[in-house]
Structure 1
Amino acid sequence: MFRALSFGAGLARLCPIRPPRGKSTPSLSPRRCSAPKLLRQDRPLHLARVSTVISPSAPDVYQPPTTGILSYLPSSWVPYGELIRLDKPAGTTYLFLPCLWSTILASTLTPVPAAISSMIGTTALFAAGAVIMRGAGCTVNDYWDRAFDPLVARTKFRPIARGAITPRQTLGFLAGQLSAGACVLFSLPTECIYWGIPSLILVATYPLAKRVTHYPQFVLGLAYSWGALLGFPAMGLSLTDPAILATAGCLYASNVAWTVLYDTIYAHQDVSDDIKAGVKSIAVKHESDTKKIMVGAGVIQLGFLSAAGVLAGCGPTFFVGSVGGAAAGLGWMIYRARLRVASDCWYWFRWCAVAVGGVAIGGGLFTEYLAQRSGLYGNERKEALEA
């Protein structure tokens, strides 16, 4: 009996009985019952399974932040802090890491390994640029998605979606962000400016990719990986040199593949809502094969990362630390991630930035820089440094 009642309750949820037009009494006719949108025949069957994604229930009313950095801001500033995701630095970290990698790798390629003070100064400029441009990217994203965000539980209370910031105010704020970003860019060598400007096109067009392709993660990778090119001219190595361009290109391609991997995990938080809203992603298109795609992206990432190391003449510390560490971290993450649990996806998304991007790849590159600067691989570069 209990099974019958449970089945009946489930059926009622799937096929609610609605009153006919103009009447307040419900009709018991089964012809009024229709299948849910996700289970209709015009949807591929494998997409229906994504409705099992477990996500924390979102509040029905916006709650101002009471903890964290946003809670210390004046109330009128809070919507702008939310707009640039000031309380969620993982995205900034992902934008900064390719700048860090290219700066360190370029520092090992200069005729004499660059002074650590020079490398830190350049890295600080990139860090400031990452904070500003990541915020600008979020502003552009929320502006384009202002009609979609109210339909997704996780994003329905974003500032523009809930009306805390108007579209006109958004564009004015974006102009200020881009001006600040330009100041950082103009603080770098001239060649960085030439190479940096095209990235703005990718930043502006990425949010639109979610409407026309199931592979917006690739477009995001093209934008978020641009810093992998800029570190070389920032350290005085011109990308017009074929050898430098090949090294930078391999590092860039590695980061594009990595972006596809980690953003696919991120996209799994919203699969059900994305289908309803018509938002496209790899997680929506290939829900049942996501981990296979992640493995493939990881292999491509490690391959291009290794190629960059070979072209740069890196030694064992890079291949053990950066390549080996990244392989171990990615393998562990792909094996452990529960893609049907939204909170788990968010955890691994943040973990990947710190453990794989920062500790493994970044740490391996910095160790390689120290090894070459100290003459661990021989006395030639050490003698050049002392001279």
Structure 2
Amino acid sequence: MDFFPHLPPYSNPKSGLLAKIPSSFIPYAQLMRLDRPAGLYAFYLPYLIGIMYAACIATITPRPQTLLGLALALLPFNIILRGAACTWNDNVDQRFDRRVERCRHRPIARGAVSTMQANIFTLIQLALGYPFTALFPRTCLLHVLVSVVGFFVYALMKRVTYYPQVVLGFPFAWAIFFCVAAMGMDPFHGENVTSTYALFSANVLWTVTYDTIYAHQDVADDERAGVKGMALRFKNNTKILASIVSFGQVALLALCGLCAGFSNTYFIGTVGGVAISMAYYIYDVDLMRPESCAAWFHDQFLIVGASFLAGLMGEYFIRLMV
């Protein structure tokens, strides 16, 4: 059933990446969101943050080549992980997507890919991603499995709770634990366990904020379709909620630095940078304009993500030169 008969029908892209590939591949590229890089930032940035944090707390400071090699290996891994998570999400949400204007042309919702084809494609992507785990210590495999299960569970949460963004925050933030393990440390024991948990929790809260604001694009359609979420639950108080959550995020980043014994470089770059950029993001975004929510979803990864990394990178280079 077409729930938006007054809107133009779907047509293949005439420009960009998807216009350059065979038409039969377009639906699968769309399932992977290859034409939408902003979502990849959500997957990849926590790993970059985790790499720099793990390098800062390591007993022996790793060389830049080691960090670069890890970052390069994690990029294709995250492209595949994101593709599998988005394919699964679109499959289980296809009934909702047909009722949401922004999502109505997704491949499964419009019938370009069947439910079975999507399930097979999900499994293929997971199979393609598995060999990348051989590049990391064996203990990292458990962290990968936790992340995959977390993303798959999240896709079901919009039916049962108004807080799916909280659930989504956990598999994203689990990258911190993964990276600590990838550097040969135990993220759950040792002298840095408190700082590690604080950074993990800060990343969870970051996800809660940006995904709630992003979801404001679809509040009216979500309410009619029966989709639950924090944007709907707090639709009249989202900026107040985001301010409180972001305050907690910044406080946790400060706790991370205090417990890890980081220098002022971290507190100025990461703690101060995130505080300022999140404040600007929350103040400037117009929740009544979907295009503003979408634009800020993309831009805040660059601004807030850069702030996350700035202090950690400064801290790393200070330790490298000692």
Unaligned segments of structure 1, at least 5 residues = 1-56, 375-381, 383-387
Query: Alpha-carbon deviation of 1:195?
Result: 2.5
TM-score, structure 2 normalization: 0.96
Task: Look up the match of 1:364.
Answer: 311
Contact 2:146 2:171 in 1 (8 A): no
Task: Look up the match of 1:373.
Answer: 320
Query: Alpha-carbon deviation of 1:243?
Result: 2.3
Question: Are 1:270 and 2:231 an aligned pair?
Answer: no
Task: Look up the match of 2:235.
Answer: 287
Distance 2:185 2:255 in 1: 18
Distance 1:117 1:59 in 2: 51
Distance 2:258 2:73 in 1: 28
Task: Look up the match of 1:223.
Answer: 171
Distance 2:88 2:255 in 1: 34
Task: Look up the match of 2:138.
Answer: 190
Question: Are 1:258 and 2:221 an aligned pair?
Answer: no
Distance 2:104 2:128 in 1: 28
Contact 1:191 1:238 in 2 (8 A): no
3-state SS of the aligned residue for 1:190? coil
Q: Larger C-alpha radius of gyration, 1 or 2? A: 1
Distance 2:232 2:109 in 1: 23
Task: Look up the match of 2:100.
Answer: 152
Task: Look up the match of 1:168.
Answer: 116
Query: Alpha-carbon deviation of 1:185?
Result: 2.0
What amino acid maps onto 2:313 in structure 1? Answer: F
Question: Are 1:64 and 2:64 an aligned pair?
Answer: no
Query: Alpha-carbon deviation of 1:247?
Result: 2.3
3-state SS of the aligned residue for 2:14? coil
Query: Cα RMSD (Å) of the superposition?
Result: 1.4
Distance 1:285 1:306 in 2: 29
TM-score, structure 1 normalization: 0.80
Residue deviations 1:264-315 (CA, integer Å, cap 9, x gap): 1110000000000000111111111100110011011111111112222211
Total equivalences in the alignment: 318
Query: Alpha-carbon deviation of 1:201?
Result: 1.5
Task: Look up the match of 1:43.
Answer: none
Distance 1:58 1:281 in 2: 27
Query: Alpha-carbon deviation of 1:186?
Result: 2.7
Equivalence map 1:132-143=2 (5 Å): 132-143=80-91
Query: Alpha-carbon deviation of 1:90?
Result: 1.0
Question: Are 1:249 and 2:197 an aligned pair?
Answer: yes
What amino acid maps onto 1:372 in structure 2? Answer: R
Contact 2:56 2:312 in 1 (8 A): no
Query: Alpha-carbon deviation of 1:229?
Result: 1.0
Distance 2:158 2:56 in 1: 38
Indicate which of 46, 50, 60 corresponds to 1:102: 50
3-state SS of the aligned residue for 2:73? helix
Unaligned segments of structure 2, at least 5 residues = none
Contact 1:132 1:181 in 2 (8 A): yes
Contact 2:43 2:172 in 1 (8 A): yes
